[in-house]
Structure formats: C-alpha cells, structure tokens
Chains A and B, each alone.
Chain A
Amino acid sequence: AQSVTQLGSHVSVSEGALVLLRCNYSSSVPPYLFWYVQYPNQGLQLLLKYTSAATLVKGINGFEAEFKKSETSFHLTKPSAHMSDAAEYFCAVSDEWGSNYKLTFGKGTLLTVNP
C-alpha cells in the first residue's frame, strides 16, 4: 500500500531564507509524486509533479523537488521564501497498481514566513 510521510507539521522560515519541506513515500511499485499547495479557504493547487522523467522537477512560484529513489524522498525546496508562500503544503503519491488510481496524501506541512 502507498503511504506518504511529511516530516514536520509546521515549518517557520524568515523571508528570503531557504524553504525545505520534507516528504518520504512508501510504494511497492515506481510511484508518481505530487506537491500541492493550499491557501486558506481554497482548494489545492498543483506545484509540481514527478512522473518518472527527470528526477529534478521544477514547478511554479520558484519551487522545485528532487526524486531520490535510494532515499524514497521527494523533498520540496525554494531558495528564497516570500511572504506569499505562507500556506499549507501537501505531498501526494499515486501509482499504477491495479486500477486503484487515487492520490494518497501526507498530513501536510504548514509553512509560516516571518518578515
């Protein structure tokens, strides 16, 4: 069965500092991995996804993530945090096992950006 673990339910950074949000996955077959962002009172918006092409994936708003099979990780980074990055971030996994196409989400990481 698939699962996703996001280390740190709350991460706080200063404006201009590096953002690092951690995600580890468990999947018995090669996974597809996603990062979504949720702003208050809104739905989820895709930041980026890994679908077995390049292991370094670039997304919107300056975010990127690197798929590391040996570490079963897909951490999200951004070199310089902006106040507008404050939101909740979710890592999710899907795979092609059977026909059970669905996203399994981590518990989320709330990012706070301090001025």
Chain B
Amino acid sequence: KAGVTQTPRYLIKTRGQQVTLSCSPISGHRSVSWYQQTPGQGLQFLFEYFSETQRNKGNFPGRFSGRQFSNSRSEMNVSTLELGDSALYLCASSLLGGPRETQYFGPGTRLLVL
C-alpha cells in the first residue's frame, strides 16, 4: 500500500497570505490528523477528521482550519499567515482514529513564512 502523501513538500509564503496543504491517507484509512512541529513547541495536535467531520481540535486559533472529503483526503488551511506559523506540518492517518491504533505519518509540508 502506498503511504501517506502530502503536497506540497515545501512552501514559502509571506505574512498575511493564506495557504492550503493537502494530505492523502493510506487507502482504507478514514481518520486523518494534523500536527504542527516547531523547534520551540515540538509536536502539537491541530485537529482530527473522520468521515468528513472534525472530531477533535487542538488549541490553535481559528486561522487554522481543515476539512475532509468523501474519499478521506484532507486539507488544512491557514489564513492570515504569521511568522510563527513557520513549521513542519505533518499529516497522519489511521483506520478509525482509535487511541490504540497506529497513526501513520506523511513526510510533512515545510512552510516558511517571510
């Protein structure tokens, strides 16, 4: 099976712009989670989607949003970019999103905000 894919891999934006990141989960996986990774804050949970519904949300401002499509592919959007949004954004998928399940991570999208 193909792994989790994320596009684009690298992105450079300027402050105030918006950005959309895409994630394709492993075939058959219905849960998709997003994490932000920075040197200072480490790995932080953004949100999780299952069957096109957001089930769980981390402690991030409303500028961070996401959605999931009927084929389980997911996108996350960050509006009005700030310098502090520069990070590696990781997507992970699992079958149903249960707490015992392994989450399989994609390679990430590295976002640089200038």
Contacts and interface: CB of A to CB of B under 8 A. Distances in A.
A43 B100 contact: no
B94 to A, nearest CB: 9
B90 A43 contact: yes
Contacts, number: 58
Contacts of B99: 32, 94-96, 101
A108 B42 contact: yes
A99 B55 contact: yes
Interface residues of A, number: 26
Interface in B7-60: 33, 35, 42-45, 48, 55-56, 58
Residue with the greatest number of chain B CB neighbours at <10 A, chosen from A44, A104, A106 = A44
A90 B43 contact: yes
Contacts of A45: 105
Contact of A100 (B44, B56, B100): B56
9 contacts: A32-B99, A43-B4, A43-B105, A46-B104, A49-B102, A94-B99, A100-B56, A101-B48, A105-B35
> Which 10 interchain pairs have the tightest Cβ spacing?
A43-B105, A105-B43, A94-B99, A44-B105, A51-B100, A102-B45, A43-B107, A107-B42, A101-B99, A46-B102
